Amino acid sequence: MNNALLTVQSLATYFPVKKGIFSRATHDIRAVDQVSFSIEPGEALGLVGESGCGKSPLARTILMLENATQGNMFFEDTDLLSASPAQLRRLRRNMQVVFQDPFASLNPGMTIMELITEGLIVHGLIQRSKRAEVAATLLQEVGLDPDMGNRFPHEFSGGQRQRICIARAISTRPKLLICDEAVSALDVSVQAQIMNLLMKLRQELNLAFLFISHDLGVVSHFCDRIAVMYLGKIVEIGSAHEIMHNPRHPYTKALLDAIPKVGSDKSERLRLPGEIPSAKNPPPGCPFHPRCRFAIDSCRTTPPTLQPCERNTKHQAACHRRDDTLQ
């Protein structure tokens, strides 16, 4: 028995690739490959990595929008992959999502009031007659004018629309909020406002987060722990402080080094050579070895698994040389 809110064990999501119209699938894209982690109630776990590394497929698998190929997922004690439709419906209100593009995720024909109370009606949590009242409270919670319920999404700016999406997501009082690049498209000044809103809601509602972003600066500000993904796998996971200040996987180091930070030394930066290989035929051994300056023979043959760094079980890296001081 553990008390984690979300537990993901050896999860894999493969997408079949078809060659030609009539042929059967020839091989799979391993979008999510043997991923394990858990999130405690109220905890924020950040998920970072570059485009195509599998962040969104992982989120979509957890949200049951993609089929898991293998593995297990538990929300509290419920097994998500064998739950009945009725169980899943009840779970949905505990696990909500905010996507990057609020333009795409808001039905343009619905009023703001309808949009943000839809979930409550579907789950039978409020009566229709209470809609306007509840909507006004929700709007206020996300820092919008409570009187805007009768207006339509197109009347709002990008930042305001993201607030509307957040109001909708928190309406059912979820325990877990999955944010997939939720602040990435926003300008810095608006991004800071939305981050502040999410931090406020996190405290007030004791929300747990799976916070996905390609921006390590944003993630390290918001999250307690960070997981780094590369080619469908988690290559490093640990406290935000450890990941930012004591990264052990060469890929994490390269990622940190590539961020243009104000005030950083402009000359001494390591460059990550080459490109991310295709997930269609990942390299043997460690998936990062073709780009790694520290690769040794075992890296080319034996895939590393997540192991504690410097005997700290809370900080793990999938690197044969994680404790190598030369690295």
Partner 1 sequence: MPPLLDIQNLTVTFDTDDGPVTAVNQLSLTLEQGQILGLVGESGCGKSVTAMSILRLLPQPSTRITSGKILFHGHDLLQLPTAELQDIRGSRISMIFQEPMTALSPLHRIGNQLVETLQIHRKMPRKQAWPTAAHWLKRVGLPDAEERMYAYPHQLSGGQRQRVMIAMAMMLDPAVLIADEPTTALDVTVQAQIFDLMHEMHKNNTGMLFITHDMGAIWQMCTHVAVMYATEIVETGTVQEIFSNPQHPYTRALLAAIPANTAPGNPLPAIPGAVPSPRNLPKGCHFSDRCPHAFDKCHAQHPDLYPTPCGQSRCFLSEEKT
Among 50, 76, 114, 133, binds partner 1 (CB under 8 A): 50
325 binds partner 1 (CB under 8 A): no
228 binds partner 1 (CB under 8 A): no
Where does this chain touch partner 1 (CB under 8 A) — which range of 55-63, 162-170, 171-179, 195-203? 195-203
Give the Cβ contact number of residue 275 at 10 Å. 9
CB closer to partner 1 out of 118 and 294 = 294
DSSP alpha helix (H) spans, the chain: 55-62, 85-92, 102-105, 112-122, 131-141, 158-170, 188-205, 216-222, 240-245, 250-258, 297-301
252 binds partner 1 (CB under 8 A): no
Transcribe 67-132 into DSSP letters.
--SEEEEEETTEETTT--HHHHHHHHTTEEEE-S-HHHHS-TTS-HHHHHHHHHHHTT-S-GGGHH
E strand or H helix at 14: strand 6-18
Window 158-187: contact mask with partner 1 (x via CB under 8 A):
-xx--------------------------x
Percent helix, strand and coil across the chain, each to the nearest 5: 35, 25, 40
CA angle 65, 213, 74 (to 5 degrees): 40
258 binds partner 1 (CB under 8 A): yes
Where does this chain touch partner 1 (CB under 8 A) — which range of 112-120, 131-139, 210-218, 292-300? 210-218
Q: What is the Cα–Cα distance from 272 to 232, expressed in whole angstroms?
A: 19
Where does this chain touch partner 1 (CB under 8 A) — which range of 31-39, 72-80, 255-263, 307-315? 255-263
51 binds partner 1 (CB under 8 A): yes
190 binds partner 1 (CB under 8 A): yes
220 binds partner 1 (CB under 8 A): yes
Among 3, 84, 189, 325, binds partner 1 (CB under 8 A): 189
Window 124-163: contact mask with partner 1 (x via CB under 8 A):
---------------------------------x-xx---
261 binds partner 1 (CB under 8 A): yes
| C-alpha dihedral, 54 to 299 to 272 to 317, nearest 10° | 60
CB closer to partner 1 out of 172 and 193 = 193
Where does this chain touch partner 1 (CB under 8 A) — which range of 27-35, 191-199, 294-302, 319-327? 191-199
20 binds partner 1 (CB under 8 A): no
Contact, 200 vs 206, CB < 8 A? Answer: no
193 binds partner 1 (CB under 8 A): yes
Residue at token pair 């930066």:
269
DSSP structural state of residue 147: G
Contact, 194 vs 29, CB < 8 A? Answer: no
Smallest distance from partner 1 to CB 105, Å: 19
Smallest distance from partner 1 to CB 157, Å: 6
Tokens for 304, please give them: 């590393």
**Which parts of this chain interact with partner 1 (CB under 8 A)?**
50-51, 157, 159-160, 187-193, 195-196, 199-200, 214, 217-218, 220-222, 240-241, 254-255, 257-264, 266, 269, 271-272, 274-275
